[in-house]
Each structure stands twice: as structure tokens, then as C-alpha cells.
């Protein structure tokens, strides 16, 4: 009998978020699941790790439960690190992160705790996928995308990923019947036009709320933003090698 794949599940919205509960249920249909996720929301943490404070993990699943679950006091990346090095008996066959409440398309991948957890798994040599749904509502309907999540995860397990590549998967806020299909995309060129809402405490001390407007500067029809706006699931292969290879030849002409 073929051994079931070992799957690590994590996220950045916290272990009790509906998105990760959906992801756990889907992964349990595929393999043996271990969950290590933040004990509180850690959105937009990027690739932050905990180095100046202690980390705590708590087993939250009952003894003998089919799925082993731990909450972690750290960041999403901390969760992956401690799962691989302290909790899991062997390296997982797959790491899935999410399902995030909200978009991680385009430039958002840089800030995303969801994707940073997946990237950390990739650094560890583990095939990894970050899943996100374009709905920030805590009670978002994740049922509509369960079959797609299962299909994508199964394909990764069957085909493997190129070395150093992680998948960034975003779902439009549509019913399963309305989703037109899957597009393999590039990351759209976009940015946040940011501003700070300046206010004062009753004691007269200034404080700030970061806000902003998302601006898509890319008119290409091969981008994640185009795919999502047109009813498709976007899959962008991303990498943790940040070298700008195309710039090396030019820089070698400088008088350094």
C-alpha cells in the first residue's frame, strides 16, 4: 500500500481562521496532516522571524485525533521552521499555507505572511503552495474552491515543482460554476499608493493608521490581476532567489 503523503498546513490568519480549517479538511482527504499555525492573526508579517523573544507551541488537538495540531506564538515563518525542526518526524512531502482571507496577488506577495510561510518551506526543500481567496470577510465562502485546492495540491504532489519554485494561488470571489478555469500567470506590475491617517489620542499624542489605494499599472493579459478580474484562478510560480540576473552584465561594465 502506498504511504500517504505527509502535509504541513499553516497560515497567517491564525489557527482558528475559517480559511485554514477548510484547508485542513481538504488536505486530510489527500494525506497525513500536521498543522502548525499562529495562535493569533499574523497578516502582513512578510518573512519576519522571532529572534529576541521566546517561542511557545501548544498542542491543541486531542490525544489520538486523526490530525495533529499545534498553535505557535510566533510568525508564519516561525511556524514552518519549528514544525520542520522540532515537531515533524520527517520532512513533509508538501506544505500548504492559507487559505488566506484576502488577495496575495501582484505586489502583495512581498508583504504576505501566507506566502512567506510557503517560501520558507521552499527554502527547506519542501514543495509548497500559498492559497488565497479574494474575500477579506471572516465568514468568506471557502466551500466553492475546495475542489480546486485539492486538484492543485494533488498535481504538485504528482508532478513536483522545479527546484526553488513555490506556487502563489489566488481565487476570485466567485462560485465554483462561475470560475472559468486556471491561468498560469506572471505577477502584475502594481503598487500601493500609501498614505497615513494622522490622529490624536485624548492626551494629545499623534498616532497613525496606514491606508492606501491599490494601483495596477500592468495592462498585460498574462498577469494574475487580469486573470482574477476575468474570472480565472491565477497561479504564479515564485522564487526565493532574488538575484536580478538580467542586471549582472550591465553592472559588470561599471568602473567598480
Q: What are 68's three cell numbers? A: 495533529
User: Is residue 2 very low, low, confident or very high in pLDDT (cuts 50, 70, 90)?
Assistant: low
Average pLDDT on 44-63 reads: 90
Map grid coordinates 486530510 to a residue.
28
Write out the CATH class of domain 6-189+220-251: alpha beta
**The model's pTM:** 0.93
Asked if residue 69 lies in contact with residue 61, where contact means CB atoms within 8 angstroms, the answer is yes
Q: What are 33's three cell numbers? A: 496532516
Q: Is 185 helix (H, G, I), strand (E, B) or coil?
A: coil
Q: What are 157's three cell numbers? A: 504532489
Q: Is the pLDDT of residue 183 over 80?
A: yes
Asked if residue 91 lies in contact with residue 124, where contact means CB atoms within 8 angstroms, the answer is yes
Alpha carbon distance 17, 13 (integer Å): 6
Amino acid at each position: 500500500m502506498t504511504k500517504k503523503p505527509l502535509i504541513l498546513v499553516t497560515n497567517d490568519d491564525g489557527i482558528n481562521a475559517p480559511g485554514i480549517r477548510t484547508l485542513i479538511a481538504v488536505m486530510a482527504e489527500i494525506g497525513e496532516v500536521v498543522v502548525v499555525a499562529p495562535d493569533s492573526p499574523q497578516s502582513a508579517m512578510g518573512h519576519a522571524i522571532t529572534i529576541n523573544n521566546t517561542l511557545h507551541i501548544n498542542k491543541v488537538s486531542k490525544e489520538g485525533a486523526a490530525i495533529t495540531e499545534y498553535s505557535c506564538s510566533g510568525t508564519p515563518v516561525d511556524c514552518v521552521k519549528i514544525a520542520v525542526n522540532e515537531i515533524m518526524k520527517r520532512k513533509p512531502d508538501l506544505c500548504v499555507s492559507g487559505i488566506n482571507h484576502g488577495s496575495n496577488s501582484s505586489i502583495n506577495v512581498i508583504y504576505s505572511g501566507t506566502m512567506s510561510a510557503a517560501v520558507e518551506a521552499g527554502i527547506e526543500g519542501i514543495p509548497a503552495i500559498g492559497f488565497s481567496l479574494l474575500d477579506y470577510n471572516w465568514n468568506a465562502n471557502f466551500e466553492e474552491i475546495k475542489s480546486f485546492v485539492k486538484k492543485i495540491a494533488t498535481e504538485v504532489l504528482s508532478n513536483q515543482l522545479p527546484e526553488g519554485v513555490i506556487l502563489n494561488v489566488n481565487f476570485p470571489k466567485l462560485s465554483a460554476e462561475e470560475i472559468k478555469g486556471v491561468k498560469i500567470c506572471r505577477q502584475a506590475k502594481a503598487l500601493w499608493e500609501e498614505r497615513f491617517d494622522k490622529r490624536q489620542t485624548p492626551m494629545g499624542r499623534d498616532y497613525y493608521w496606514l491606508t492606501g489605494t491599490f494601483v495596477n499599472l500592468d495592462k498585460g493579459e498574462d498577469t494574475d490581476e487580469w486573470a482574477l478580474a476575468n474570472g480565472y484562478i491565477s497561479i504564479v510560480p515564485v522564487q526565493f532567489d532574488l538575484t536580478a540576473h538580467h542586471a549582472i552584465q550591465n553592472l559588470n561594465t561599471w568602473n567598480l
